[in-house]
């Protein structure tokens, strides 16, 4: 039986590798190995093995996002199990489900195993976000979150690099790659479950549904982010396979470039959030995404080629990496005890559009792919307007501003 939980203020006696921040880095590295591999192979796997079209891929992603919409269930689960345990067990489920993905090559089988892996992914992400904001002090959070993103990018880089080097060279099968990547994540989760003590944050979390008016801007930004991201996740990579016929090693090569860039840029962006604030970084992200989605439409409207599409895909992915600024914005305005339940509520809000958009846009895709990206550009423009409402120095009582021209005064040190 494990010893009693250890307070965050009493972890200095532990070896550095057994401290809370090290556990966050371990999980940040383990999760992308399974998820990134699944994502890299997905479009080729479902097209080659199951004969998916835009309609089926839309339904697949709708099913995949249902657990995200139900992330609010985390509030009920943390009544009976500790957040840290729930997060690690969810990571274990993600790894195990990914490992057996190729065993179910039919539409029904793919949808079922996708649902299971998605439960693991979304519940892990919900709890992980909560633990990050509880375990990291506000003054260090932007920098550490940037480094955590870089760690995840490094894991993805390793997974994609191995795919590029070995997929054709050793004529690998989907089954072997899924087994190795998912199995690795599952083993790391088991190690994390037994090698780390239970950590006790200083503020016990509320175990009930929390909706507060002063978090309204955060909720709105989460909704827009979820709707916008779905179009990128579902249709950008699918376009690369359907329109340009890219193979596994070429798609994986694009992912490789994406994560190499994030490894370099993410820590720098963490420092920029610390210096310039969340409003600056989020507006930079959303303006960039608006231009990128309009350019995606140009691939269909103006006939731009595969090199333009590949460049846009890399830029798109890099811009999405800036979204951790939304986490630090919430950390600054929230009551400490609200972090866990609000993380669950935010994930549900983030996935409201995700449940119906992929399926609906799958039908629009077969008529006008450019229109799908035009809608994404409109959503990104809406996010620009919302992010302009974030104060330069957000805090409790100063969550959003309606009069941007009013001069803001930095809080006293």
Residue range 163-180: mean pLDDT, rounded: 83
**Three-class DSSP category at 207:** coil
User: Is the pLDDT at 1 greater than 50, yes or no?
Assistant: no
Reply yes or no on whether the pLDDT at 26 is more than 60.
yes
Is the model's pLDDT at 357 over the cut of 80? no
The answer to whether the beta carbons of residues 271 and 146 sit under 8 Å apart is yes
> Are 71 and 118 spatial neighbours (Cβ–Cβ below 8 Å)?
no
Question: Model pTM?
Answer: 0.81
Rounded to the nearest 10 degrees, what angle do helices 216-231 and 54-69 cross at? Answer: 150
> Using one digit for the tens of pLDDT, what is the confidence trace for 363-401?
888 888 888 889 889 999 999 999 999 998 899 888 887
> pLDDT category, 239, cuts 50, 70, 90?
confident
* Separation in Å, CA 355 to CA 68, 114, 332: 9, 14, 29
pLDDT tens readout for residues 81-112: 999 999 999 999 999 999 998 888 878 888 89
3-class secondary-structure state, position 279: helix
- Give tens-digit pLDDT for 206-236: 778 888 888 999 999 999 888 887 777 778 8
The whole-number pLDDT of residue 403 equals 44
pLDDT of 241-266, one tens digit each? 778 877 766 777 777 787 788 778 88
- Cα separation, 220 vs 346, in Å, equals 9
pLDDT at 72 (0 to 100): 83
6-200 and 213-389, same CATH topology: yes
Neighbouring residues of 11: CB distance < 8 A, sequence distance ≥ 6: 19, 20, 199
Hey, where are the domains in the chain? 6-200, 213-389
Segment 144-157 shows an average pLDDT of 86
pLDDT of the residue at 13: 87
What is the architecture, at CATH level 2, of domain 6-200? Up-down Bundle (1.20)
DSSP state at residue 5: P
Spatial separation of the C-alpha atoms in residues 327 and 333, rounded to whole Å: 10
Q: How far apart are CA 190 and CA 93, in angstroms?
A: 11
pLDDT > 70 in the chain, percent: 95
In 10 A of CB 268, how many CB atoms? 10
Question: In this structure, which CATH number among 1.20.120.1200, 3.40.50.920, 3.40.47.10, 1.20.1250.20 belongs to the domain 213-389?
Answer: 1.20.1250.20
pLDDT score, position 405: 44
DSSP H/E element including 7: strand 6-7
The answer to whether residue 361 scores a pLDDT higher than 90 is: no
pLDDT above 60 for 411 = no
Q: Residue 198: which of 82, 343, 341, 79 has the closest Cα?
A: 82
Distance, in Å, from the CA atom of 131 to the CA atom of 78, rounded to the nearest integer, reads 12
Q: What is the pLDDT of residue 412?
A: 43
């Amino acid at each position: 039986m494990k010893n009693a939980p250890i307070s965050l203020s009493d972890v200095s006696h532990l070896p550095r590798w057994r401290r809370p921040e090290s556990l966050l880095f371990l999980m940040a590295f383990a999760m992308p190995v399974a998820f990134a591999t699944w994502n890299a192979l997905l479009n080729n796997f479902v097209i080659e093995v199951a004969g998916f079209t835009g309609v089926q891929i839309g339904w697949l992603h709708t099913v995949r996002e249902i657990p995200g919409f139900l992330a609010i269930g985390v509030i009920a689960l943390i009544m009976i199990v500790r957040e840290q345990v729930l997060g690690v067990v969810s990571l274990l489920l993600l790894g195990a489900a990914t490992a057996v993905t190729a065993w179910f090559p039919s539409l029904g089988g793919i949808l079922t195993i996708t649902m299971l892996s998605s439960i693991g992914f979304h519940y892990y992400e919900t709890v992980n976000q909560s633990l990050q904001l509880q375990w990291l002090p506000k003054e260090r959070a932007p920098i550490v979150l940037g480094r955590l993103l870089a760690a995840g990018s490094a894991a993805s880089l390793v997974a994609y690099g191995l795919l590029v080097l070995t997929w054709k060279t050793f004529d690998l099968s989907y089954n072997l790659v899924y087994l190795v990547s998912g199995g690795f994540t599952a083993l790391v989760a088991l190690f994390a479950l037994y090698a780390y003590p239970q950590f006790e944050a200083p503020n016990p979390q509320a175990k009930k549904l929390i909706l507060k008016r002063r978090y309204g801007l955060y909720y709105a930004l989460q909704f827009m982010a979820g709707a916008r991201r779905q179009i990128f996740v579902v249709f950008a990579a699918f376009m690369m396979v359907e329109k340009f016929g890219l193979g596994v090693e070429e798609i994986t090569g694009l992912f490789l470039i994406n994560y190499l860039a994030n490894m370099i840029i993410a820590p720098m962006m963490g420092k920029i959030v610390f210096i310039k604030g969340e409003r600056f970084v989020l507006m930079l992200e959303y303006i960039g995404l608006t231009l990128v989605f309009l350019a995606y439409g140009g691939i269909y409207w103006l006939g731009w080629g595969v090199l333009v599409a590949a460049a846009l895909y890399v830029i798109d992915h890099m811009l999405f990496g800036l979204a951790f600024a939304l986490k630090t914005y919430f950390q600054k305005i929230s009551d400490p005890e609200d972090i866990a339940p609000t993380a669950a509520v935010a994930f549900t809000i983030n996935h409201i559009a995700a449940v119906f958009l992929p399926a609906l846009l799958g039908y629009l895709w077969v008529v006008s792919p450019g229109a799908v990206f035009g809608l994404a550009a409109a959503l990104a423009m809406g996010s620009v307007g919302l992010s302009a409402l974030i104060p330069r120095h957000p805090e409790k009582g100063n969550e959003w501003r309606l009069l941007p021209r009013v001069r803001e005064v930095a809080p006293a040190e």
